[in-house]
Amino acid sequence: MPSEPGVCQDRGTYDAAFKGDAAVNRSLPQDPIIRRLVMQARQAQFSRRHVLQGAGVGAATLALAACAPASSGVPEAAEDISETDPTVTWSNWPAYIDEDDDGNYPTVLRFQEQTGISVEYVVDIDDNNTYYGTIKDQLALGQPTGADTFCVTDWMVARLVRFGYVQELDAANIPNKVNLAPALANPDFDPGRNKSMPWQNGFSGLAWNTEEIPGGLKNIDDLWAPELKGKVTVLSEMRDTMGLIMLSQGVDISTGDWGIDEFSAALEVLEENVLSGQIFGIKGNEYMQDFVSGDAIAAIAWSGDITVLNAEAGFEKWKFALPESGATLWGDTFVVPLGSPRKKNVETLINYYYEPEVAAEVAAWVNYITPVVGAQEVAAELYPEVAENPLIFPDEATLANSFIFRTLETGDDQEFNGEFQRVSLGA
């Protein structure tokens, strides 16, 4: 049973992010991501970048995000006024939708033209925990949060669903739901995707300045080379940075066959390189600015961000690669908070982005993994280089070298995050 709002309980009540079977797997050979996700899904969940942002976020913030505010009960969803108020406010992460040279979002503009629904697209999520901290009181009271929909990581979505903070979606308003990759259709925090719909998935791995490091990077240990001292950044998403270091030490992070000993061994590596000054910073999206300024030339990074940087530079100045020891996989997801009175408008928006043509266009810009079946076929015609990119449409070899950080029980989650935060504050 879900924990009641007001109870600080973030246990792993679900042991799989996605469920599938061999029959589904065989029926979709054109979707290589399906097979890999199904293999790992029974023991793991997707994670995304919950940026701790250095000293600005402390243990109190972690505690806030781990606990639901006290409440006498979950309020009812807001009355839907979509028919008389054709607007929608959508909060999302940086560099996470197609954008033209004028700062407009072409797919959003076409959605507005086709539907008459006006979209306010707001880039104000750079951290799962801190974003939740800013809206948790409104969520608990069923009040407007300022966004009709937002895309946070599946592990955070699971918490929102468990606390009853999001509305049930009307599948009749999302006919394109049939295009959802089957491996993503039945996470046990939301079987059938009745309260959530995936937005994008992606990898965490290695990135570097090709001018400064022409030979490239192959393994996490390459970041600790003496010539890179003070020029390295790692992600403040614990599951990505620690996951990659643990993978480099031979730990399969997608299974339950590891615990505090393996985590501590990886943390020692991180702490040693923080204290020595090898690591310039433990950051979220800010590492992109450090790459541009030259303060950093190597990083643990997110796959799609590097393509954005290269597009802005006009040439392949930076490169991203999966470490030979393995990369991490994560995913972000649409939800509609209880306080939104425009759920149907959001459903119309989600339906639009589940059109393969639209999904392919977004994928060509953001360079993350689309959850939409049929997008690869469209991309093959319109964006052949994108369709052949294994970081956007992963092949078996790419997926075989990527891992989903397993679900953590409450005790481990608090202990691991606390230790990671302690080291982060020293960076």
Place of tokens 């982060």: 424
Check pLDDT > 50 for residue 50. Answer: no
Its CATH class, for the domain covering 22-201+329-397, is: alpha beta
**What per-residue confidence (pLDDT) applies to 292?**
93
Cβ 232 vs Cβ 197: under 8 Å: no
Q: Please report which confidence band the pLDDT of residue 27 belongs to, taking 50, 70 and 90 as the band edges.
A: very low
**What per-residue confidence (pLDDT) applies to 359?**
98
Distance in Å from the first CA to the final CA of the chain: 40
> What is the pTM assigned to this prediction?
0.74
The most confident of 59-63, 326-330, 348-352, by mean pLDDT: 348-352
Cα distances (Å, whole numbers) of residue 82 to 108, 113, 114, 143, 177:
18, 17, 16, 17, 20
Find all residues with CB under 8 Å of 220, minimum gap 6, and list them: 206, 244, 245, 247, 248, 300, 323, 325
**Mean pLDDT, range 89-96, rounded to an integer:** 94
Q: Output the CA torsion sign for 302, 304, 310, 313.
A: negative
Cα–Cα distance, 54 to 283 (Å, whole number): 7
Eight-class DSSP state of 369: B
User: Using N-to-C axis directions, what is the helix angle for 410-424 and 260-275, rounded to 10°?
Assistant: 10
CB atoms closer than 10 angstroms to residue 335: 23
Cα–Cα distance, 20 to 22 (Å, whole number): 7
Mean per-residue pLDDT of the chain: 84
Q: What angle do CA 294, 324, 269 make, to 5 degrees?
A: 65
Identity at 117, one-letter amino acid code: I
**What per-residue confidence (pLDDT) applies to 253?**
94
Q: Please list the residue range(s) of the chain that carry CATH number 3.40.190.10.
A: 22-201+329-397, 203-327+409-424
| Domain range 203-327+409-424, CATH architecture | 3-Layer(aba) Sandwich (3.40)
Provide, rounded to the nearest whole percent, the portion of the chain with pLDDT above 90.
Answer: 63
CB atoms closer than 10 angstroms to residue 201: 24
Please report which helix (H) or strand (E) contains residue 153, including its range.
Answer: strand 149-153
Q: Please report which confidence band the pLDDT of residue 406 belongs to, taking 50, 70 and 90 as the band edges.
A: confident
Pairing of strands 318-321, 197-209: antiparallel
- Estimate to the nearest angstrom the gap between the alpha carbon of 79 and the chain centroid: 30
Cα–Cα distance, 308 to 304 (Å, whole number): 7
The most confident of 155-164, 234-243, 371-380, 401-410, by mean pLDDT: 371-380
Give the HSE-up count for residue 108: Cα atoms under 13 Å, Cβ half-sphere: 18
CB atoms closer than 10 angstroms to residue 418: 13
**What per-residue confidence (pLDDT) applies to 26?**
27
**Mean pLDDT, range 35-64, rounded to an integer:** 38
Check pLDDT > 60 for residue 8. Answer: no
Cα–Cα distance, 399 to 390 (Å, whole number): 9
Please state whether 277 falls in left (phi above 0), alpha (psi between -120 and 50) or beta. Answer: left
Place of tokens 């031979």: 250
**What per-residue confidence (pLDDT) applies to 306?**
86
Residues in the chain: 427
**What per-residue confidence (pLDDT) applies to 399?**
86
Stronger pLDDT, 2 or 131, i.e. the higher one:
131
Lowest mean pLDDT among 13-17, 64-68, 136-140, 237-241: 13-17
Segment 263-289, tens digit of pLDDT? 999 999 999 999 999 999 998 878 889
Provide, rounded to the nearest whole percent, the portion of the chain with pLDDT above 70.
Answer: 83
Segment 357-404, tens digit of pLDDT? 999 999 999 999 999 999 999 999 999 999 999 889 988 888 889 998
